[in-house]
Amino acid sequence: MKEKIVSYTLETLPPLTEKDKAELAALFARPDSEIDYSDIPPLTEDFWQNAVRGRFYKPVKRQITARVDADVLDWLKSQGKGYQTRVNAILRDAMLRSLRQQKA
């Protein structure tokens, strides 16, 4: 059975109903001491040692037109499918190195 995925943006999100507003108000009024954390294990130092910032971050892509030297483009394409992804990875690496240098 094929499932239909529905997605919303802030502009297309349906407005809250009175019932939704009442449920949110009731949740907001509850004290933190009533929150049941039994299904959430406590985070240990081991967890934070292996944590990776931005692991699920997916930046928005924008289409551009860029002029690249022919030999550079040939080299990128010679490595197989995904040359545009490689261009992005190379540029991201350069950006992150530059940002790290600026902080130092």
- Full residue range of the structural domain in which residue 100 is found: 65-104
Examine residue 96 and state whether it is found in any structural domain, yes or no.
Answer: yes
Number of domains in the chain: 1
**How far apart are the C-alpha atoms of 67 and 6, rounded to whole Å?**
38
For the segment 6-56, what is each residue's pLDDT rounded down to a tens digit? Answer: 888 888 888 899 999 999 999 999 999 998 889 998 888 988 888 888 888
Examine residue 87 and state whether it is found in any structural domain, yes or no.
Answer: yes
Higher pLDDT pick, 89 / 8: 89
Examine residue 86 and state whether it is found in any structural domain, yes or no.
Answer: yes
Helix H or strand E encompassing 18: helix 18-29
For the segment 47-83, what is each residue's pLDDT rounded down to a tens digit? Answer: 888 888 888 888 889 999 999 999 999 999 999 999 9
Tell me, rounded to whole angstroms, the distance of Cα 11 from its chain centroid.
20
Q: What is the pTM of this model?
A: 0.48
Q: How many helices (H) and strands (E) does the chain have?
A: 4, 0
Examine residue 17 and state whether it is found in any structural domain, yes or no.
Answer: no
